[in-house]
Structure 1
Amino acid sequence: MILKHLLRPALLLTAAALTLGASPPLDWNRVVTRTPQQSTILGNPAAKVKLTTFVSYTCPHCREFELESDAGLKLKYIRSGKVSVEIKHVVRDPIDLTVAMLTNCGLKDRFPLNHSAFMRSQPVWIQTLARSSKAQQARWTTGELPTRTRAIAADFRFYEIMASRGYDRVTVDRCLADGAMAQRLAAGSEAASKLGVDHTPSFAIDGALLYGTDGWSLLQPQIEARM
């Protein structure tokens, strides 16, 4: 009887120690995977529901989707590991290409906040397009890739956005001269077109394109239905 009373507190202490030492549940928002096709998967690559978003950085509706969906996707779906989100780039013009090269600059773990920074500041930098001269537009579309992308980065003040993210000029220029990345982005855009993507944002779940779904209010119920 005495032995039983002595053992019980010891067992309780052991259980408490194991509980305190247990690892917290994995927050899948911290897991970022870069694919060979230059897209990025946020969350559990083996999630039950695999959402793909096709976005363009010069598309105002894509920015609206970013603002409307960001918190819900991260807090309710990605964090649990039940839903992953793959961001695929649709390159509509030289500005789109330049921004996509910058958001993918450096380590893959930097992509989510790079992506958010450019999407959320879009109303500011996109004004350069409306105010641009023919001479500026010529610089954006002629010459070698580094010449074009650096001209765009200078005119749209992308260097300042990247500096706010901790990138120096040398690193940014190296990314803007990455011809292999530019080819992967162009190929990914072409593949999206062949899949049937004719506007942005567009969405697919488990590889099936969602026709008639153009925003978060229509997308969220379809995610819920598959969980």
Structure 2
Amino acid sequence: MRVPSASNHAVPNRKLRRGLTVSAALAGLIAFGAWSADAAAGEVGAADGPVLLAQATSETAAADSDVKVPEASGKVDVEKLMSGEALPDVVIGDKNAPVTIVEYASMTCSHCRDFHSETYPTIKKEFIDTGKAKLILREFPFDPRALAAFMLARCAGDDAKRTAMVDVLFDQQPQWAYSNQASAELLKISRLAGMTEEQFKACLSDKELQKKIVEIQQRGENEFGVNATPTFFVNGDKYAGALSPEQMAAVIKKHM
């Protein structure tokens, strides 16, 4: 599969690739499940997504008071949103924080990476680390590579290790998401998390884990109307798109 050219990087949020069933995911992960030590040259098709935008190097300023609060595109029942997931939510921040941010993301989505590299550090420092808000990232894989990455993050260990693994996967997205040697690149990242090659292969062969991650994606779509990534629910209000630090700060303050 062809890697998109750099001219495609301005494409808006990637629309949901429908039909990501467990069987389709398994078919797409055959190369991962059959991974062996000499598979570094094995082929896994490149992810069908826009080429990563260059990471901003300047530090983003904190939200200004005159920033217009983005308009929510819908609202869901918070109690329903916070219950019934196939896998336990991983909460970043104080579980009792008054503002709850639920993010649906795909690991191969460049807009999701933009949010985590450009907005998340500011929001974490100002709101999450101070106990004003908490963040829950839920799996919404668009393709088998994103599914594989989410599986490896879940296999990394406890909540802190899963969060750290997600951070590294976003940070190194160009190396594995658009590579012809995705298996080898994901194994390198997994080894950084302390996983052996045997654990790596066992994780990607875990059909029950695959099923549960796909169930989270399907519930997000069917019950909460998620059809693009990233999509955020802030105390139930829905916002689609990678919000800037100022925009997300304004949204959080609205709910404080």
- What TM-score does the superposition give when structure 1 sets the normalisation length? 0.69
The 5 A counterparts of 1:68-217 are 68-105=118-155, 106-128=157-179, 131=180, 153-154=183-184, 157-194=185-222, 195-211=224-240, 213-216=241-244, 217=246
| Sequence identity (%) | 23
User: What's 1:15 paired with?
Assistant: none
User: What's 1:44 paired with?
Assistant: 94
Residue range with higher mean Cα deviation, 173-182 or 60-69: 173-182
Answer yes or no: is the 8 Å Cα contact 1:42–1:86 preserved in 2. yes
Answer yes or no: is the 8 Å Cα contact 2:123–2:248 preserved in 1. no
SS of alignment partner, residue 242 of structure 2: coil
Q: Highest CA radius of gyration, 1 or 2?
A: 1
User: Per the alignment, do residues 57 and 214 of structure 1 end up closer, same or farther by CA in structure 2, a change over 3 Å counting?
Assistant: same
Answer yes or no: is the 8 Å Cα contact 1:38–1:185 preserved in 2. no
2:116 is aligned, of 62, 66, 81, to: 66
Q: Which runs of 5+ in 1 are unaligned?
A: 1-34, 133-151
* Equivalent pairs, count: 169
CA drift at 1:112: 1.3
User: What's 1:6 paired with?
Assistant: none
CA drift at 1:218: 2.6
The alignment yields a C-alpha RMSD, in angstroms, of 1.9
Q: Which amino acid aligns with 1:64?
A: D
CA drift at 1:196: 1.2
Q: Which amino acid aligns with 2:107?
A: Y
Q: Which runs of 5+ in 2 are unaligned?
A: 1-84
- What TM-score does the superposition give when structure 2 sets the normalisation length? 0.61
Answer yes or no: is the 8 Å Cα contact 1:39–1:89 preserved in 2. no
CA drift at 1:36: 5.0
Render the CA deviation track for 1:62-119: whole Å, top value 9, x for unaligned. 1100101232122111112220100011111111110000111122220111001000
Answer yes or no: is the 8 Å Cα contact 2:154–2:162 preserved in 1. yes
CA drift at 1:172: 1.8
Q: Which amino acid aligns with 2:174?
A: P
Counterparts of 1:109 and 1:60, CA distance in 2 = 23
Counterparts of 1:178 and 1:206, CA distance in 2 = 33
Higher relative contact order (CA 8 A, sep 6+): 2
SS of alignment partner, residue 138 of structure 2: strand
SS of alignment partner, residue 77 of structure 1: helix
CA drift at 1:180: 1.8
Which 4+ residue blocks in structure 1 deviate beyond 4 angstroms?
none
